[in-house]
A and B are shown apart, each in its own frame.
Chain A
Amino acid sequence: MAEKFKRMDGRELTEMRPIAAKVGIIPNADGSAMFKSGKTIAYAAVYGPREHHPRNARNPKKGTLRCRYNMISFSVNDRIRPGPSRRSTEISKITEWAIAPVLMLESFPGMVIDVHINIIQADAGTRCAGINAAVMALAHAGIPMKDMVSSISAGKLDKTLVIDLDKAEEDFEEGEGPTDIPVSVTHSGKVTHLQLDGKINKEELKNAIKMAVTACDEVYDIQKKALKNVGQLIEGAKK
Chain B
Amino acid sequence: MEKIEINSQKITEYFNTGKRFDGRKPEEFRELIIEAGVSENAEGSARVKLGDTDVIVGVKLATSTPYPDSPNKGNFMVSAELSPMSSPRFEAGPPKFPVIEFGRVLDRGLRESGFINWEKLCIKEKEKVWTVFVDIYTINDAGNLMDAAGIGAIAAMKTAKLPKYDEETDMIDYKNITDMPLPLNNVTPIAITAYKIGNKILIDPTREEQDAATARITVGSSEGIISSIQKGEEDSMTPEEIGEALDLIDIAYKNIFKSLEKQLK
Task: Decide yes or no whether B246 CB sits under 8 A from chain A.
Answer: yes
- The answer on a CB contact under 8 Å between B226 and A196 is yes
Residues 184-201 (chain A) with a chain B CB within 8 angstroms: 186, 189-201
In the complex, the answer to whether A191 meets B237 with C-beta atoms within 8 Å is yes
| Contact call A93/B101, Cβ cutoff below 8 A | yes
B228: contacting residue among A87, A196, A202, CB under 8 A:
A196
For the complex, is B81 an interface residue (Cβ under 8 Å from A)?
no
In whole angstroms, how far apart are the Cα atoms of A228 and B114 in the complex?
47
Q: Which residues does chain A contribute within 8 Å of B217, judged by CB atoms?
A: 194
The residue that A209 contacts in the complex, of B114, B233, B239, with Cβ under 8 A, is B239
B108 within 8 A of A: yes
Known interface pairs A86-B103, A93-B101; A194-B242 also in contact (CB < 8 Å): yes
With A196-B229, A200-B225, A201-B226: A89-B100 Cβ-Cβ less than 8 Å? yes
| A191: chain B residues within 8 A (beta carbon) | 231, 236-239, 242
Chain B residues with CB below 8 A from A89, complex form: 97, 100
Interface-side segment among A6-14, A35-43, A95-103:
A95-103
- Taking a contact as CB atoms under 8 Å apart, the answer to whether A192 and B239 are in contact is no
Residues of B close to A193: CB separation below 8 A: 231
A198 to B231 CA separation, bound complex (whole angstroms):
15
The answer, yes or no, to whether B18 is at the interface (CB within 8 Å) is no
Q: In the bound complex, do residue A197 and residue B108 qualify as a contact, i.e. CB atoms below 8 Å apart?
A: yes
| Min CB gap A172→B, angstroms | 14
Q: How many pairs of residues, A versus B, come closer than 8 Å at their CB atoms?
A: 84
B111-146 interface bits toward A, Cβ cutoff 8 Å, 1 = contact, 0 = none: 011100000000000000000000000000000000
**How many residues of B sit at the interface, in one of the four size bands?**
20 to 34
Residue numbers in A under 8 Å from B35 (CB-CB): none
Residues of B within 8 A of A189 (CB): 238-239
Q: Does A181 contact B (CB under 8 A)?
A: yes
Contacts of B86 in A (CB 8 A): none
- Asked if A205 CB lies within 8 Å of chain B CBs, one says yes
B105 to chain A: closest residue by CB:
A90
Nearest opposing residue in chain B for A181, CB measure: B229
A201 to B219, CA, bound (A): 11
Interface mask (B42-65 → A, CB under 8 Å = 1, otherwise 0)? 000000000000000000000000
- The answer, among A101, A195, A201, for a CB contact under 8 Å with B224, is A201
A181 to B228, CA, bound (A): 9
Known contacts A181-B229, A192-B231; 18 further A-B pairs (Cβ under 8 A): A89-B97, A100-B234, A191-B236, A191-B237, A191-B238, A191-B242, A194-B230, A194-B231, A199-B113, A199-B114, A200-B226, A200-B227, A201-B224, A201-B225, A201-B226, A202-B224, A206-B243, A206-B246
10 residue pairs from A and B, CB less than 8 Å apart:
A97-B231, A191-B231, A191-B237, A191-B242, A194-B230, A194-B231, A198-B112, A199-B112, A199-B226, A205-B246
A contacts, CB < 8 Å to B: 86-87, 89-90, 93, 96-97, 100-101, 181, 186, 189-202, 205-206, 209-210, 213
Question: Which B residues lie at the A interface, using CB under 8 A?
Answer: 97, 100-101, 103-104, 108, 112-114, 217, 224-239, 242-243, 246, 250
